[in-house]
């Protein structure tokens, strides 16, 4: 499951609607919604995100959060280490090879490192 898929699933359950009902209302297939919720599709389009936000009648702050989750929800993320050090490339490959076996606590610790690390301005995204 992706962060966006998890959030959309939670919103759908709160509203008490099935994938089929939601799909019909926003003009997509239930299979597409299922694939999004289960992390089998890439990040959705901006148009789709707007339809979801409208369907759930979310306020702007919540919509912005939903859009941010969508940006973090590509289940086939690619790390481009060209031009970086051998250490960067080795780390990226080790992470790719082992990510499925990392426990949630390790993921949370790594995320905390990324969130709290100060980067030089030139490295900011």
pLDDT in tens, 3-21: 899 999 999 999 999 999 9
**Full DSSP string of 36-64:** HHTT-S-PPPHHHHHHHHHHHT--HHHHH
Rounded mean pLDDT of 95-107?
93
Find the CATH number of the domain harbouring 29: 1.10.260.40
Judge if pTM exceeds 0.85.
Answer: no
**Full DSSP string of 11-29:** HHHHHT--HHHHHHHHTS-
Total domain count, the chain = 2
Residue 55 and residue 9 share a domain: yes
Residue 21 in any domain: the answer is yes
């Amino acid at each position: 499951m992706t962060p966006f898929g998890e959030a959309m699933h939670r919103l759908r359950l709160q509203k008490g609607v099935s994938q089929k009902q939601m799909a019909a209302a926003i003009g997509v297939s239930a299979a597409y919604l299922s694939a999004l919720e289960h992390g089998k599709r890439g990040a959705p389009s901006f148009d789709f995100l707007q339809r979801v936000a409208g369907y759930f009648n979310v306020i702007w702050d919540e919509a912005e959060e939903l859009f941010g989750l969508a940006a973090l929800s590509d289940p086939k993320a690619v790390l481009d280490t060209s031009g970086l050090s051998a250490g960067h490339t080795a780390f990226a490959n080790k992470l790719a090879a082992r990510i499925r076996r990392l426990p949630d606590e390790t993921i949370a610790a790594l995320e905390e490192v990324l969130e709290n690390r100060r980067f030089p301005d030139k490295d900011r995204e």
